[in-house]
Amino acid sequence: MFLRIFTATACAAAIAGCTAYSGPTRTTDIVTLSNGSQAYRVQCLGLLESSKACMDEVKRICGDKPATRVSSIDHITSDLKSENDPREITFQCSTPVVQQPIPPAPAAVVTPVAAPLVAPAPVHHAPVRKITLQGDATFAVGSATLTPFATAKLDDFVAANQGVDVDRLTIAGYTDSTGSAELNNRLSAARARSVQGYLATAGLRASAWDVQGYGSASPVAPNKTAIGRAKNRRVEIQVDGK
């Protein structure tokens, strides 16, 4: 009995203060430890009680929280031997540590490999072998100056014959039957040379050039009507080669 009182006194020295409330088989105190924190103290000192009553009270108080034992006083037999049967337990209810789930490793990002760019095969257009500049839309009346409409048609002709080996390029100028033969021959030749100069400047190359003015010869329509005469005023361009 002396040892129990001595042990209880030593335990109480470590406790700064307490608040007690009791049940029919045990006594429960809320105590303040020397470090300032609070704890519970359960005493089960009745003759018919055991440490199980204390442990049941510990579980009731802490519930799902784990209990951390601060100190305990064992039951002592008459021969002063411990029975390993604690009848006084001072404990604290700990907050359970929640194991955080380990997030899954991020999925590997697979960067698609772009397919190599394949240059499209060049499109080869068949060369234009012959075009005709015809009517007043290609030359002003009595003039060898090319109109914008005529130069646009000649640009298309040059583009269609890029890369073509031109052996001979024939340019033939014609007029209608109005005016003198001398004037018509000179005007048709001047228009043919005007076309030749533009084609050469635009990059069309030929091994040989045949540039002639034929006046009112070889009409393609009757000269009796304005429409027919417009058709006869023309320059014919033709390429020979691969």
**11: confidence class by pLDDT, cuts 50, 70, 90:** very low
Average pLDDT score over residue span 158-169? 87
Mean pLDDT of the residues in the chain: 79
pLDDT at 25 over 70: no
d(CA 119, CA 122) in angstroms, rounded, equals: 9
pLDDT at 35 over 70: yes
Predicted confidence (pLDDT) per residue in 54-78, tens digit: 888 888 888 888 888 888 777 665 5
**180: confidence class by pLDDT, cuts 50, 70, 90:** very high
What is the pLDDT, as a whole number, of residue 10?
37
Contact at 8 Å (CB) between 138 and 157? no
Highest mean pLDDT among 30-44, 90-104, 121-135, 150-164: 150-164
What is the pLDDT, as a whole number, of residue 49?
65
pLDDT at 168 over 60: yes
93-102, 120-129, 143-152, 223-232: range with lowest mean pLDDT = 120-129
Percentage of the chain lying above the pLDDT 70 cut: 78
pLDDT at 175 over 60: yes
pLDDT at 186 over 80: yes
What is the pLDDT, as a whole number, of residue 196?
94
pLDDT at 174 over 60: yes
What is the pLDDT, as a whole number, of residue 57?
82
What is the pLDDT, as a whole number, of residue 78?
56
Predicted confidence (pLDDT) per residue in 103-138, tens digit: 787 777 777 777 777 777 655 556 678 899 988 888
